[in-house]
Amino acid sequence: MLQGQCVILGVTGGIAAYKAAELLRLLIKAGAEVHVVMTRSAQEFIAPLTFQTLSGNPVHTELFSLIQEQEIGHISLADRADLVLIAPATANLIGKVANGIADDLLTTTIMATRAKVLFAPAMNSNMWENPVYQENQAKLEDLGYHFIEPVYGELACGWQGQGKLPDPQEVFNSAQSLLGSNDLAGKTVLVTAGPTREEIDPVRFLSNYSSGKMGYAIACAARNRGARVILISGPVNLCEPKGVETIQVISAREMYEAVMGVAEQADLIIKAAAVADFRPVVRGDQKLKKASAVTMTVDLQRNPDILAELGQKKGSRILVGFAAETEELLKHAREKLANKNLDMIVANDVTQEGAGFDGDTNIVRFLTADGNVEELPQMTKEEVAEILLDRATALLPEG
Ligand code: PMT
């Protein structure tokens, strides 16, 4: 997957430095040529020999090493990189780069490179929240540097909070996305994600289990491939992705309005949202009282079918729907593909373990209008998103 790509893996001094060894293994397995640069404090946590053995290349540690300069000087390292990936990246390293300090081999390489740079910060949660740190990260993001957010969990210092390095696989996925092609440059991709909520009264609603993870993964993958991305999201617990124009909605009717308002601008529309098909006919202005009732009936009426309406007026746009099924997956997916006039449908059996709502993985089949069916094994939603975009991009008209 990364054959012929050169990655400089920068390792700084944090307890998560050991995870960089697993990350290196994933990069090598994917075919990348990896050169590791370690700061002095990183060497307190893990020995350079580990990285040398895994990468098959000498590990670079010193800015003014005569031998290393002759073989592969720091400028040459910076020049040959397709990606500079720093994992873990300490607050100190990020602070230095944000303020133009290049006083060791790693900071010099970062400042001298024209390649994409991806930081995977890991630190104590108070340091992470410190406005000085946040200002440094924001400054670098504005300048076009990339970041993968640390995750919540128990930190080495005993605190619970945000600051942990994500799993090496997650960091690898982000690196892979950045190294991926720019095949959606100049295109606008509209993605919908998450559930909708249909209110019964001010405190109750009808909804479903969608977490938004599938749609957000598609939006991020499309952004990484150079697209302008508009994400229309129902209520979810995910952060708005950076570099994506996100429109928040609650109900199916709001999603309908938002989608119709921007659909004209899109070259590719992918509808991963789980839109409620029905809403209550009447929404109570006040909380409904149970009084002495034992049963209660809520009358429902149809919501607009957003995808079907897009299918009616899609023009040269490529339209991809999802089908969440609990039985007869292919039959129902085929019907939706035809009835909604789609170019492709992504079918998932949401009763299958590892597929559908909320989890981090999905098991999908792609059905195209020409009758083709492609079955994928269980994979992360990020991996599904990449393959989905490969297939959808191939359907886009030339030019
Ligand atoms: O969000 P996650 O937790 O990651 O879960 C992912 C997912 C299960 C939500 C996703 O993989 C998925 O299957 N999304 C589609 C869910 C769905 O509503 O499927 P459906 O078969 O009911 O609808 C078919 C298609 O029509 C969908 O593209 C849907 O967005 C669209 N639709 C449905 C109803 C409606 N009123 N308007 C629509 O546009």
pLDDT score, position 64: 63
Kindly state whether residues 194 and 169 are assigned to the same domain.
Answer: no
Q: Please provide the average confidence, as pLDDT, over all residues in the chain.
A: 92
Domain housing 280: 188-395
| pLDDT tens column, 181-240 | 778 989 999 999 999 999 999 999 999 999 999 999 999 889 878 899 999 999 999 988
* Residue 4 pLDDT class (50, 70, 90 cuts): confident
Whether residue 279 has its Cβ less than 6 Å from ligand 1: no
Which is the closest atom of ligand 1 to the Cα of 321?
A: 28
Q: Is 190 in the pocket of ligand 1 (CB under 6 A)?
A: no
For β-strands 151-154 and 228-233, DSSP reports them as unpaired
Residue 254 has pLDDT above 60, yes or no: yes
Domain shared by 175 and 215, yes or no: no
Q: Is 211 in the pocket of ligand 1 (CB under 6 A)?
A: yes
**Residue pair 189/220 in contact by the 8 Å Cβ criterion:** no
CA dihedral 141, 142, 144, 146 (to 10 degrees): 10
| 275 Cα to the center of ligand 1, angstroms | 6
Atom of ligand 1 nearest to the CA of 192: 30
153 and 172 belong to one structural domain = yes
The number of domains in the chain is 2
Q: Among 158, 179, 200, give the residue marking a domain's end.
A: 179
Instruction: Specify if 1 maps to a domain.
Output: no
pLDDT attached to residue 80: 83
Residues 222 and 287 in one domain: yes
pLDDT for 178 equals 85
pLDDT band at 5 (very low <50, low <70, confident <90, very high): confident
Q: Please give the Cα distance from 81 to 36 (Å, whole number).
A: 11
What does the pLDDT look like over 63-98, one tens digit per residue? 666 555 555 555 677 888 999 999 999 999 999 999
389, pLDDT greater than 90: yes
> Are 16 and 60 found together in one domain?
yes
> What is the number of the ligand 1 atom nearest to the C-alpha of 345?
28
DSSP state string for 208-274: ----SHHHHHHHHHHHHTT-EEEEEE-S-SSPPPTTSEEEE--SHHHHHHHHHHHGGG-SEEEE--B
- Residues classed as catalytic: 157
The DSSP output letter for 60 is B
pLDDT at 398: 79
In a domain, 138, yes or no: yes
Q: What is the DSSP letter of 179?
A: H
DSSP state of 385: H
CATH of the domain at 273: 3.40.50.10300
Same domain (yes/no): 195, 167: no
Cis peptide before 235 (omega within 30 of 0): no
Q: What whole-number distance in Å separates Cα of residue 36 and Cα of residue 34?
A: 6
pLDDT in tens, 280-324: 999 999 999 887 788 989 999 999 999 999 999 999 999 999 999
Name the domain boundary from 179, 199, 234: 179
Ligand 1 test: best mutation among 190, 206, 275, most atoms within 8 Å of CB? 275
Mutate to test the pocket of ligand 1, among 192, 249, 322, 329 (most ligand atoms within 8 A of CB): 322
Confidence category of residue 133, pLDDT binned at 50, 70, 90: very high
User: Contact at 8 Å (CB) between 23 and 86?
Assistant: no
Find the 276 Cα to ligand 1 centroid distance in Å: 9
2 φ, ψ (degrees, to nearest 5): -110, 25
pLDDT of residue 384: 95
Asked whether residue 172 falls in the same domain as residue 199, the answer is no
CATH number at residue 88: 3.40.50.1950
Q: Which two tokens stand for residue 296?
A: 């209660």
The mean pLDDT value for 46-57 works out to 95
The pTM for the full model equals 0.71
In a domain, 166, yes or no: yes
Q: Which of 307, 336, 343, 387 to mutate to test the pocket of ligand 1 (most atoms within 8 A of CB)?
A: 307
| Same domain (yes/no): 147, 261 | no
